[in-house]
Structure 1
Amino acid sequence: MTVQLQGHSGSVPTGPRRIPRGIHLSELLAQASSGRGVDLTSVVLARGGQRFACDLVQAVCLDERGHDPVLADGDWITVRATRSRGEPPGVYVCGSASRQGRQPLVPGQRVDEMLRQVGVATGPGGHWVHLVRGVGDRPRIFRISTGSTPRKGAGARGGPPRMLLEPDDLIVVSRPGRPFVEGVEKLALLLGAVSPGEPVVLAVNGDR
Structure 2
Amino acid sequence: MAGRPRDERTRNRILRRAADIASAEGLEGLSIGRLAADLGVSKSGLFGYFGSKEELQLATVRVAAEVYLQEVVRPALAAPPGLGRVWRLCDGWLDYSERRVFPGGCFFFAVTAEFDARPGRVRDAVAAAGLEWNRLVTRTVDDARRLGELTEDTEPGQLAFELTAFLETANAVSLLHDDPAAYRRARTAVRTRLRAAATDPAALPGPDPAA
* TM-score of the aligned structures, taking structure 1 as reference length: 0.24
Greater helix share, structure number: 2
Pick 1 or 2: higher relative contact order, CA cutoff 8 A, min separation 6. Answer: 1
Greater strand share, structure number: 1
